Amino acid sequence: MLNFDLTEEQQMIKKMIREFADEVVAPGAVDRDRSKKFPVEVFKQLSGMGMMGLPFSEEYGGGGADTISFAIVTEELSRACASTGITYSAHISLGGAPLNLFGTEAQKHKYLTPICTGESFGAFGLTESNAGSDAGGTQTTAKEDGDDYVINGSKMFITNASYAKHLAITAITRNEGGKKEISAIIVPTDVEGFTVIDNYEKMGLNASNTTELVLDNVRVPKENLLGTQGNGFRQFLVTLDGGRIGIGAMAVGIAQAAFDRALRYSKERKQFGKVLSEFQITQFKLADMAMKIELARTMVHKAAWLKDQGRPFSREASMCKLYASEIAMEVASEAIQIHGGYGYMREYEVERYMRDAKLLEIGEGTSEVQRMVIARLIGC
């Protein structure tokens, strides 16, 4: 049975988050883009609404909802403010998900619960200066010393770490005969030797928190190993599959916001005695934008649905991330075009959508990496 309707619960979540996005998140988005101020107040309210652990079990303080609901919330928040959207998406799919997937019961109670309640933001430290697309190039090491790991190295571009009480990082736990064994380890952010540096100057997503991490002889007990030793590489691939649904949802939200503004402007702006929306070329641009957004949203929901069914979803997650992020850039660019010179001005906001959308073609696997993943999964 093929059914594209949202369930009652999904519709309820959509209505609630849509109103919240319009009334609470959107009004401060321009200011936050300029001031680069992290949306702490917005997240306090999202915690109160039970959104911070939405797709995780109620046993850990989560909402027990599904991945489609997570995608809806991420889309709606990103439509209003993409900095808020990426913070939320990374919190759930990079911070909470690996703990949920690979944590022991004790680890879930200790580390996933504060993420679900909003006491801690979720974050995930994989990328390093020499390990981006080729994440296997990790250089951070975790040496066993008695009952502890002693971790040394650094991480780049890590979302949410300034607001996280702990996060999982990847490190080499063994390196025998040039064969690296990479593991994921949970590190409390207040441990001695751990420094979070928050001073990147970004192109967009200005109110989101992107940090550098330095680990200098950081000592954590061996019980902080997440999953099994040596399995960190596979675990992060699984984690990124889910994360790509979040990036796809973000892209749909940004594209929708850009489209809404372009449609509105096209009905107001007059040239040659007509509003722009009377010109067929503008109508065709808007029709293409609407069609691509519809397709991207359907792809995101299908990948989320597959995940919720417990079926393989890597290919669909990669496809939705790739397609949605590329059309988000395209739609944002067309929205600027429809605004003409005004679109190039900050005041009209559409340029922000393009600056924010660009990251989606880069983070959690670049477009090139997505094409490599898809090519492998279709049997090339």
Ligand X SMILES: Cc1cc2nc3c(=O)[nH]c(=O)nc-3n(C[C@H](O)[C@H](O)[C@H](O)COP(=O)(O)OP(=O)(O)OC[C@H]3O[C@@H](n4cnc5c(N)ncnc54)[C@H](O)[C@@H]3O)c2cc1C
For ligand X, the binding residues (CB under 6 A) are 90, 94, 124-127, 132-133, 157-159, 205, 210, 359, 362-366, 368-369
b or e along 222-250 (b: 16 or more beta carbons within 10 Å of the residue's beta carbon)? eebbbbebebbbebbebbbbbbbbbbbbb
Shortest reach from residue 78's CB to ligand X, in Å? 14
Contact 349, 197 (CB under 8 A): no
Residue 202 CB, shortest distance to ligand X, in Å, is 6
Contacts of 153 (CB under 8 A, 6+ apart): 128, 138, 139, 140, 141, 171, 215
Residue 343 or 365 having the CB closest to ligand X = 365
Q: Which of 131/289 has CB closer to ligand X?
A: 131
Per the annotation, the verdict on 144 as an active-site residue is: no
The one-letter amino acid at 164: A
Short-list 221, 217, 170, 171, CA closest to 195? 217
Q: Tell me the CA distances in angstroms from 88 to 199, 211, 246, one per residue in order.
A: 21, 16, 9
Q: How far is the CB of 85 from ligand X (least distance, A)?
A: 12
Residue nearest to ligand X (CB): 132
SS3 content of the chain, % helix, strand, coil (to 5): 60, 15, 25
Within 10 angstroms of residue 185's Cβ, the number of other Cβ atoms is: 26
Which residues, 6+ apart, have CB-to-CB distance to 24 below 8 Å? 42, 45
Taking alpha carbons only, the member of 361, 88, 369 closest to residue 251 is 361
> Residue 263: is it exposed, middle or buried by C-beta count within 10 angstroms (0-12/13-18/19+)?
middle
Tell me whether residue 125 or residue 246 sits nearer to ligand X (CB atom): 125
CB of 252 to ligand X, least distance (A): 19
Residue 117 to residue 91: CA distance in whole angstroms: 12
Q: Report in angstroms how near the CB of residue 98 gets to ligand X at its nearest.
A: 11
Nearer to ligand X, 24 or 372 (CB): 372
- In 3D, which of 201, 163, 198, 158 has the Cα closest to residue 40? 163
Q: Which residue is catalytic, options 75, 334, 361, 364?
A: 364
* CB closer to ligand X, 153 vs 365: 365
State which residue, 89 or 107, has the beta carbon closest to ligand X.
89
Beta carbon of residue 357, minimum distance to ligand X (angstroms, whole number): 12
* Catalytic residue annotation: 364
